[in-house]
């Protein structure tokens, strides 16, 4: 737990440093080039800095749950899902919301998976931390009946 806090502080430090460098570069371009060209260069420097700051944040902001394995196999109207989900078994659940499958487990585990189609749960098994679920395509007749 302590290690993840240190990594978050480390990422925040680098983000702050990147922001300070961006401000310095923007002010340098404004003072170096008077007129429209200086403003254009400053705007480009700021936009480039914002782009890279977002890219760095996205790369550092991945969830620890993304390291858990997940496999989707589709054969026609059947979708097989195999996922590593932390237990205990009493806390493991599967929820379907339209084209989204939500896997819930122990230790605050929650992972959302986008499905290629709306589905219904046909079968579910959970053994030794591995969840196997079989989903079938939801048809128009299944939603009305």
**Sign of the C-alpha dihedral computed for residues 110, 112, 113 and 117 taken in this order:** positive
* Residues whose CB falls within 8 Å of the CB of residue 9, separated by 6 or more in sequence, listed in order: none
CATH hierarchy code of domain 65-144: 2.60.40.790
Q: Which pLDDT value is given to residue 117?
A: 93
Q: Which pLDDT value is given to residue 2?
A: 36
pLDDT per residue as tens digits for the range 1-21 = 333 444 455 667 777 777 777
Taking only the tens of pLDDT, the chain with its 145 residues reads 333 444 455 667 777 777 777 777 767 666 665 677 666 777 778 888 888 878 777 776 666 677 789 999 999 999 999 999 998 999 999 999 989 999 999 988 999 999 999 999 999 999 999 999 999 999 865 555 4
Quote the CA–CA distance of 25 and 69 in Å, as a whole number: 42
Quote the CA–CA distance of 44 and 90 in Å, as a whole number: 54
- Quick check: helix, strand or coil at residue 25? helix
Q: Which pLDDT value is given to residue 75?
A: 95
CB 124 within 8 A of CB 81: no
pTM value is 0.56
b or e along 26-57 (b: 16 or more beta carbons within 10 Å of the residue's beta carbon)? beebeeeeeeeeeeebbeebeeebeeeeeeee
């Amino acid at each position: 737990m302590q290690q993840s806090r240190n990594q978050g502080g480390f990422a925040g430090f680098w983000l702050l440093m990147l922001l300070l460098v961006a401000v310095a570069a923007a002010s340098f371009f404004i003072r170096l080039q008077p007129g429209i060209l200086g403003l254009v260069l400053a705007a480009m420097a700021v936009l480039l800095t914002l782009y890279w700051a977002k890219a760095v944040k996205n790369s550092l902001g991945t969830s620890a749950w993304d390291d858990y394995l997940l496999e989707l196999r589709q054969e026609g109207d059947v979708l097989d899902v195999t996922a590593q989900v932390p237990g205990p078994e009493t806390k493991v659940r599967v929820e379907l919301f339209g084209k989204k499958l939500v896997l819930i487990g122990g230790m605050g585990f929650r992972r959302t998976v986008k499905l290629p189609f709306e589905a219904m749960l046909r079968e579910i098994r959970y053994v030794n931390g591995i969840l196997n679920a079989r989903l079938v395509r939801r048809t128009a007749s299944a939603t009305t009946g």
